[in-house]
Structure formats: structure tokens, C-alpha cells
Amino acid sequence: MQVKLDRFKQLIAEITDLGRAEALLGWDQQTYMPRGSGEDRGNVLETVAGLSHRMFTSSEMGDLLAELAPYAESLDPESDDACLIKRTAHDHEKSTKVPTEWVAEFARVTTIGQMAWEEAKAANKFEVFRPHLEKVLAMRQAYANFFKPYDHIYDPLLDDFEPGMKTSEVQAIFNTLRPQQVQLLKEIAAKPVIDDSFLHIPYADQGQWDFGVDVITRFGYDWNRGRQDKAVHPFTTSFGIDDVRITTRFDPERAASALFSTMHEAGHAMYEQGVAKSLRRYPLANGASMAVHESQSRMWENLVGRSRAFWQFFYPKLLQQFPGQLAGVSQEQFYRGINKVEPSLIRVEADEATYNLHIMLRLELEIALLEGSLQVGDLPQVWNQKMGEYLGVVPAKDSEGVLQDVHWSGGMMGYFPTYALGNLVSAQLWEKMQQDIPNLDGQISQGKFDELLGWLRVNIHQHGAKFEPQVLIKRVTGTTIRPEPFMKYLRDKYSEIYNL
């Protein structure tokens, strides 16, 4: 059996390496690749994705998994080998239902589609992106149909990012969450508007960069195993636990954009950097799911980065970096300014009280597109209509509306719900963490994050993708994903800020 286990591990390591190579090509595409190289890059990614899929769905891999299944049952269910065999078996079963030709073509279509999205967004012309999105949608519909019968067409796509979760579960959580968030927004809207005008004046890009680097260095982001670059849409990517890279962007009209995107992406990256070394070169050297991943990024961005304790330490440093822009702005004014609640057009700039509504809107649109009740050509109009219904604001141009997110160009339908689920998980983990580290706020106010990161390393990071997300969350907090801790966090925070 050891010979078969060794061969299985050799194969899965090689397949993982191909995935890392594909990720490296994707990182280059969004950072340094010449803009006119989309077709060539698409061809390369088509080849790599096809090769990887053929290896993974080979009869040899299937035979090895079948022979190793009884062995895995004899092991400690939490051992690396048992978890690796179980996770690989799940992914293999799913992958064998998808033709290699589809995988290769999808890699090419989405690579070219992303270049078209960048062009369309820059030119504010949805029609440039429309035919590419129609191709992506048709391919995602075909992908879902490989898994019939399903409870809902969205289920196979959601499972790609949140293993084991069903569309009905997400909808039930959102249906509980939505009225509570809407009620909170109504109460806040009745209060005086907070002045955040000091955030909407020019701040030098280099100063923002330097400040963000200092912050995430103190968090614990390991620069010997990572780097930061600029991208149209901030993202994190991993080529292994010792090479996890992040990107950020600068918005001349939103001074806090680069800082919070840097903290957000560092949260993702520190998760991947914290995976146990024993999982190197295996598919377990990833996050448990995108909701768990988002819990890490949203935690560092919001629960830490928008807290009063955080700015007790960092505001004097920010003031030193930008004395002109912040002249006459007190620490309390700044804290309230970065936590201002105001429905906005751009998801990544949305405050904590309105953010989830952006996600609920996108889920509704994705389901309608996949079900066929909404056509791609009608998307800009329906997007604007839904923004008015959900948030009371309507985009004046598509670059601030339907073209604002990169995800659909990459075919990532099924991804968006994980952002809101990540918010919920972050609050659950934070609640437990504060029980385990009673003086957490005091540590943050002194710029100390070692114990916070250490807790995450032990309870979340080291396990990588060994456990299904709901299993991991219950293991740490005692329950699966639930909205109550997040709503308590929001209400407590904004009741104090807005005197509700």
C-alpha cells in the first residue's frame, strides 16, 4: 500500500505544480503582461489547464483513489494522508464529469475575456465585454449541466468555492440577514451624516504604499515569502506556501482604498503562508473554502483595520505620513470617517453595514443569468435597477456598475456569496478569539498582533484545506455559519458610532 500511496502523492504533487504554474501565468497577466498578449496567454493557459485536467482525471488516478479508499478509512480521520485522499477523491469525482476539452477551452475563453473586461471598464463600454461574457455564461451553464441531476443549477458552481454548501442554505442565511441589515441602515439614515471629506482629497500613492507596507509587516505578512504589486483589481495568489503574492490599487478619489485593499489581501496571504509545511505541494495547501478565506481578509481589513484600537496606534503614524491632508482631523473624526455608513456604487469600497447587500444583489443576478431569466444584453439595465432597489443609488456609467468586478470575466460565477459568508465567519471567529484572548483590543492598540496571528495559525491556517469549511468552523466556534455574531458586531459598533 505504501508504494501506491507514494505514487498517488507523486501524481498529485505534479498536478499541484501545474496549478501553481497556471496561477503564476495568471498573476503575470494581471500585473506585468503586455496588454496585447491576451490571445497568446490564453493559448498557453489552455494547454496547461488541459494537461492538468487529463492527469487528474486519468484512469491511473482513479484506480489509485479506489485502492487507497479503504486505507484512508483505517487512518486517523484528521491525519494529513486521510484528509488528502478524501479531498482528492471529492475533487476527482467532480472533475471526471467535466470533459478536458471544456477545461482547456474555458481557460482560453476566460483569459481573453479578462483582457476584454479591462478594456471595456477603461472605456466604459459594456458592449466590448458583452460577447465574452455571453461565452463565459454559456460555458458555466454547460458546466453545471455536467452535474445533473442537481437541486439547483447554481449548486455545482457554488461547490467549486464553498464545498458542500447548497444554494438553498445560502439563500436561507441571506433571507435572515437582509431584513436585519436593512433595519439597521434605516436607523443609521435617520442620524446626522458623518463628515469624511478628508478621505476624498489627493494622497500621494507612494505614501499610501509605504503606510500599507508598514501595517501588514506589523500584522505578520512575511516579505521573504511574498511581494506586493499593482493591479486593476486587487487579488492574492499563491504559488506555494513560501510564495504568496498580493496586489493593491490606488484610487485618487478614495484615499483609504489602497490601505484597506492591502490589509484585505494580506489577510488572504497570511492564511496561505500559515499552512503546515507538511501539506506543501498538495491541494490541501490552500484555504478550506473561499468563505473561510474571506473571513481572514475581512477580519484584518475590518474587525482589526477599522477598529478604534487599531487607530489608537496607527493614527499618529498616518498623521505623520500625511500632515497636510489630515490637518485638524482628530483621531476620533478619522475613526468615524472610515466607518461612515453610506450606500455606495462600488462593492470593494462599501462600508460594513451595506457590503453584504452588494453580494445579495450579485447572487440574484447570477442565478437569473444561469436560469436564463436574464440575458447578458439586459444586464446593465437590470444591474442599475437592482442597485436602486437594494441600495438607493444608481450608477451613472457601467464602469461603476456592471463592469466594476473582475470575477465574471474569469468565469467565477458562484464566488460572490462567499464574500458575505466570510463576513459572518469572521465575526464568529472574532467572538471566540476574544474569549480566548481577553486583552485582544489592548494588544491591538499597542500595535501588537503576534497573539492574534498565532491564534489564527493554530485554529485555522495550519489546517489548510484538510477539513470541509462547515466542519472547520464548527470545530473552532461550536456551530456552523450563522448570522447572529455578525449582526451583533454591526449593531454594537454602529450603535456607538451613530448613537442609535
Whole-Å CA distances, 431 to 359, 435, 437, 444:
23, 7, 10, 15
Query: Does residue 99 have a cis peptide bond before it, meaning omega lies within 30 degrees of 0?
Result: no
- Are 279 and 272 in contact by the 8 Å Cβ rule? The answer is no
Find the range with the poorest average confidence among 18-32, 124-138, 143-157. Answer: 18-32
pLDDT digits (tens, 9 = 90+) for 46-61: 888 888 989 999 999 9
Domain 167-498 has CATH 1.10.287.130: no
Examine the pLDDT at 68 and tell me if it is beyond 90.
yes
Per-residue confidence (pLDDT) for residue 12, from 0 to 100: 94
Other CB atoms within 10 Å distance of the CB of residue 285? 21
* Percent of the chain surpassing pLDDT 90: 82
pLDDT digits (tens, 9 = 90+) for 436-455: 999 999 999 999 999 999 99
- Catalytic position from the list 265, 272, 301, 468: 265
Per-residue confidence (pLDDT) for residue 40, from 0 to 100: 83
Examine the pLDDT at 256 and tell me if it is beyond 90.
no
Per-residue confidence (pLDDT) for residue 37, from 0 to 100: 79
Q: Which residue has the higher pLDDT, 233 or 292?
A: 292
Examine the pLDDT at 262 and tell me if it is beyond 80.
yes
pLDDT digits (tens, 9 = 90+) for 184-232: 999 999 999 999 999 999 899 999 999 999 999 999 999 999 999 988 7
When pLDDT is averaged across residues 290-297 and rounded to a whole number, the result is 95
Per-residue confidence (pLDDT) for residue 145, from 0 to 100: 95
pLDDT band at 367 (very low <50, low <70, confident <90, very high): very high
Sequence-ordered list of residues with C-beta below 8 angstroms from that of 161, at least 6 positions apart, any chain:
289, 290, 291, 412, 414, 415, 418
Q: Which residue has the higher pLDDT, 151 or 24?
A: 151
pLDDT band at 250 (very low <50, low <70, confident <90, very high): confident
Catalytic status, residue 265:
yes
Examine the pLDDT at 330 and tell me if it is beyond 80.
yes
pLDDT band at 313 (very low <50, low <70, confident <90, very high): very high
pLDDT band at 96 (very low <50, low <70, confident <90, very high): very high
Examine the pLDDT at 274 and tell me if it is beyond 90.
yes
Examine the pLDDT at 31 and tell me if it is beyond 90.
no
- Are 17 and 281 in contact by the 8 Å Cβ rule? The answer is yes
Per-residue confidence (pLDDT) for residue 24, from 0 to 100: 86
Examine the pLDDT at 348 and tell me if it is beyond 90.
no
* Neighbour-count burial for 219-243, b at 16+ CB within 10 Å, e otherwise: bbbeeebbebeebebbbbbbbbbeb
Per-residue confidence (pLDDT) for residue 349, from 0 to 100: 82
Q: Which of 193, 194, 98 is nearest to 143 (CA)?
A: 98
Q: Which of 202, 193, 265, 280 is nearest to 235 (CA)?
A: 265
pLDDT band at 36 (very low <50, low <70, confident <90, very high): confident
pLDDT digits (tens, 9 = 90+) for 407-442: 999 999 999 999 999 999 999 999 999 999 999 999
Examine the pLDDT at 252 and tell me if it is beyond 80.
no
**338: Cα separation from own chain's centroid:** 21
Per-residue confidence (pLDDT) for residue 33, from 0 to 100: 80
Per-residue confidence (pLDDT) for residue 25, from 0 to 100: 86
The helix/strand/coil state of 430 is helix
Per-residue confidence (pLDDT) for residue 50, from 0 to 100: 87
The grid coordinates listed for 197 are 471629506
- Are 395 and 345 in contact by the 8 Å Cβ rule? The answer is yes
Examine the pLDDT at 41 and tell me if it is beyond 90.
no
pLDDT band at 352 (very low <50, low <70, confident <90, very high): very high
* Percent of the chain surpassing pLDDT 70: 100
Average per-residue pLDDT in the chain? 93
Q: Where are the domains of the chain?
A: 2-149, 167-498
HSE, side-chain direction, 13 A CA sphere, residue 387 = 22
Per-residue confidence (pLDDT) for residue 15, from 0 to 100: 93
pLDDT band at 323 (very low <50, low <70, confident <90, very high): very high
Q: H-type helices in 57-166, by residue range?
A: 59-74, 80-95, 100-123, 126-145, 155-161
